[in-house]
Amino acid sequence: MKVELENVKPRDIEKRSFEIITEELGTRQLPKEQELIIKRCIHTSADFEYADNLCFSTEAVTKAIEAIKEGACIVTDTQMVKAGINKKALSKYGGEVYCFMADEDVAQTARDNGSTRATASMDKAAAMGKKLIFAIGNAPTALVRIYELIEEKKLDPELIIGVPVGFVNVVQSKELIMQTEVPYIVARGRKGGSNIAACICNALLYMIDDNRD
């Protein structure tokens, strides 16, 4: 079988990928505010089901962009999400990215309470007193704790990106977040992951300024 490769310059690979995604979506019209985020999730995963399973609360994207411009920080549940977020782009607006999973005080709190580190990380984040966006790509227990903290009036996030992947309490934790009045972007069902959490953060940043030099 003869294999024919597309002749695409390195700097044009992403552009060509998005053209292919648009072509394969066909006549489907995505909401303008959500389009770049959905397409970037498809680009990251090669999974077109994100066109159906990504759920957005009303004006979630607009509110998230406003929060970023006002210096909101991002809290994640994995070092992989932290590594994948464009921190230079976020820092233009005064924001930072935090992951507390490896912190010794978090580990000790988890041991003392018999909880997961992800749960203890969310408690530490809630005590920061900062404007926060949560990007959860791995641990449903993080989403459950965020929900509890919101219900206890101890946390009022600017946005929750709820895209943990897996089987145990993954679907349920996402549904809990969608019951709150907090802005959210949730991948309904079992799909998601750290790469998806990071790419949603980056999509929001690139909607503000796509200059990545």
Average pLDDT of 87-109? 97
Q: What is the mean pLDDT of the chain?
A: 95
Q: What's the rounded mean pLDDT across residues 164-192?
A: 97
- More confident: 9 or 172: 172
19-38 pLDDT, tens digit per residue, is: 999 999 999 999 999 999 99
The confidence band for 100, taking pLDDT boundaries of 50, 70 and 90, is very high
- Residue 61: pLDDT band with limits 50, 70, 90: very high
Beta bridge partners of 98: 75
Enumerate the active-site residues: 43
Q: What is the pTM of this model?
A: 0.94
**Average of pLDDT values for 85-114?**
97
- Range 53-207: architecture per CATH: 3-Layer(aba) Sandwich (3.40)
Q: Which pLDDT value is given to residue 5?
A: 82
Give residue limits of the domains in the chain. Answer: 53-207
pLDDT class for 213, splitting at 50, 70, 90? low
- Which pLDDT band, with edges at 50, 70 and 90, does 4 fall under? confident
Q: What is the pLDDT of residue 64?
A: 98
pLDDT tens for 134-159 read 999 999 999 999 999 999 999 999 99
Decide if pLDDT at 11 tops 80. no
